[in-house]
Amino acid sequence: MVTKLNNSPSPQPSPSGRGGNRENHGLNIAVIGGGYAGMAAAAELAARGIPVTVYESAKQLGGRARGVEYNDTQLDNGQHLLLGCYRETLRLIELVGGDIAQDFLRLPLQLDLHKQFSLKAPRLPAPLHLLVALMRAQGLDWSERLKAARFMLTMRLNDFRLQQDMTVSALLALHDQDANLSLKLWEPLCIAALNTPIHKASAQVLLNVLRDSLDRRRADSDMLLPHLDFTALFPQRAADYVVKHGGKVLLAEGIETITTQADGVTLSSAAGTQHYSHIICATSPTVAARLLDPIAALRNTVAHIEALEQQPIYTVYLQYPEQVRLPCPMLGLHQCVSQWLFDKGQIAAQHGLLAAVISAEGLHQDLSQEALAQKVIAELQREFGISDTPLWYKVIAEKRATFCCSPNLLRPTQQTAEARVLLAGDYTAGDYPATLEGAVISGVRCARLLLAH
Ligand SMILES: Cc1cc2nc3c(=O)[nH]c(=O)nc-3n(C[C@H](O)[C@H](O)[C@H](O)COP(=O)(O)OP(=O)(O)OC[C@H]3O[C@@H](n4cnc5c(N)ncnc54)[C@H](O)[C@@H]3O)c2cc1C
């Protein structure tokens, strides 16, 4: 149950509305934003006995990873997937009542670019599973397979650390990864993981992802596709958990201003003002920059946030007749507009529903939504012989889906120059690109910083 208090006064944390109480270790915390970062912070604090108040401006939780209903069909705000190495996200889903074995379709590492490339990991321990997969990859010749395996071994020897960050293109050129190898393996991987084209993407961040997903346990490279929508998967359960532990989750209650004082922070929304000992600002970077701008001590933080460029992600959902299906739940297309295709029939029993994902900047941004959908429909017909006409389609264009993950990016830390204001969000400092796991880790880090305090 999520507490919904649209026009009612916000909760009074103490009789005076100021400060915290003894049971809460003197902490009286508000979280601004009910996306994955904010709900991770709230759940982690609730688990440690600190009830929090979450303010969410939308009518539902989940932010960029939220469920969306269209034509009586449950969609997401863009098709997402998790990796087996998303340890904190999976831990928190279980903490708030999820069941990883039941909630997900788990696919062992398999990268298929339809008819052009196929890499399938055998049941061997990591990183052997990857090396064998690379040596057997279809669509590469022997010298390319060897080069790819040598690249991974060299990165491993260097502990996946570069002395100097550079673009992914530069790193690939340095290690003799030729055009075919790059087009079929590294480029699709980089765009899927970093949502940034290889000529702009940070090689170090890509190596962080390769290290965590491919080099440790075999299950880390599994791809996890939830049977339920992304609001139901975590944020909604986290809200129920927070409420059960004495906290509040306020929907449709956007924070308009943040004012800091020596003894706390005042938040104002349409419902009035409230005073807290600390706040975690867990909005998107654009909103965070606007809210934090008036706080003089945070001028540098705001400058770092404003310097982040953004990259888009487009998802085209197509509802075909129920019998239409793809050869497997998820596969890619080589040099097509549609980069990755998902068969929601095989993932979530939504038969006939397909999703085509187009990540990062590109020429597709110049197309109208109708033209983009028609291109995807034509590709599905050409590649799989799907001649049916979709009953409907829906294009979800997230123009500011993630930050552009370029080399040596200065990302703001969770702890700020204003001790009572913490920052959570996928764009804050961390090893990961803009992902659910990056968002969740940042939220958990904020919670732990406050608990340590
Ligand atoms: C189409 C798409 C596909 C993606 N695919 C993947 C994927 O496959 N795997 C993966 O790991 N990641 C993926 N991502 C990235 C992932 O969705 C994000 O990294 C993550 O959701 C960011 O979470 P967040 O909590 O940091 O921010 P957000 O989700 O942006 O949450 C911020 C929240 O703050 C709220 N808010 C804003 N202003 C206010 C205010 N004034 N007061 C109160 N609340 C406010 C917003 O409504 C929102 O709920 C994808 C992103 C998109 C857009």
CATH number of the structural domain spanning residue 395: 3.90.660.20
Q: Does some domain include residue 60?
A: yes
Residue 87: inside a domain, yes or no?
no
Kindly state whether residues 433 and 341 are assigned to the same domain: no
If asked whether residues 413 and 295 sit together in one domain, one would say yes
From first to last of the 453 residues of the chain, give the pLDDT tens digit: 344 433 333 333 333 333 334 456 678 999 999 999 999 999 999 999 999 999 999 999 999 999 999 999 999 999 999 999 999 999 999 999 999 999 999 999 999 999 999 999 888 888 889 999 999 999 999 999 999 999 999 999 999 999 999 999 999 999 999 999 999 999 999 999 999 999 999 999 999 999 999 988 999 999 999 999 999 999 999 999 999 999 999 999 999 999 999 999 999 999 999 999 999 999 999 999 999 999 999 999 999 999 999 999 999 999 999 999 999 999 999 999 999 999 999 999 999 999 999 999 999 999 999 999 999 999 999 999 999 999 999 999 999 999 999 999 999 999 999 999 999 999 999 999 999 999 999 999 999 999 997
In a domain, 270, yes or no: yes
Residue with tokens 């998967």, as numbered in its chain: 233
pTM: 0.94
| Residue 126: per-residue pLDDT | 86
Q: Which of 221, 244, 261 is the last residue of a domain?
A: 221
DSSP label at residue 411: P
Do 169 and 207 reside in the same domain of the chain? yes
The total domain count for the chain is 3
Helix or strand (DSSP H, E) at 128: helix 128-136
Q: Are residues 199 and 291 in the same domain?
A: no
Question: Given the CA of residue 425, which atom of ligand 1 is nearest to it?
Answer: 26
Same domain, 151 and 42: no
CA 40 to centroid of ligand 1, rounded, Å = 12
251 and 204, same domain (yes or no): no
**Ligand 1, CB within 6 Å, residue ranges:** 32-38, 55-58, 63-65, 78, 80-81, 254-255, 282-284, 287, 313, 315, 398, 401-402, 425-426, 434-437, 439
What number of H helices and E strands is found in the chain? Answer: 16, 20
What domain range is 381 assigned to? 310-403
State in Å: Cα 123 to ligand 1 middle.
34
Q: Which atom of ligand 1 is nearest to the CA of 89?
A: 11
**Do 299 and 412 sit in the same domain of this protein?**
yes
Q: Is residue 13 part of a domain?
A: no
- 439 and 296 both lie in a single domain: yes
Q: Is residue 178 part of a domain?
A: yes
Residue 216 confidence (pLDDT): 87
Atom of ligand 1 nearest to the CA of 38: 25
Ordered DSSP codes for 7-40: SSPPP-SSTTS-S--GGGTT--EEEE--SHHHHH
Which pLDDT value is given to residue 24? 63
Residues 54 and 178 in one domain: no
Is 127 found in the same domain as 178? yes
Flag whether 118 is in a domain. Answer: yes
Residues 131 and 190 in one domain: yes
Q: Please report, as a single letter, which amino acid is at residue 284.
A: S
User: So what's the pLDDT on residue 30?
Assistant: 98
Contacts of residue 145, Cβ cutoff 8 Å, sequence gap at least 6: 134, 135, 136, 137
Please tell me whether residue 323 adopts helix, strand or coil conformation. Answer: coil
pLDDT at position 9 is: 32
The answer to whether residue 33 sits within a structural domain is yes
Q: Are strands 330-332 and 340-343 parallel, antiparallel or unpaired?
A: antiparallel
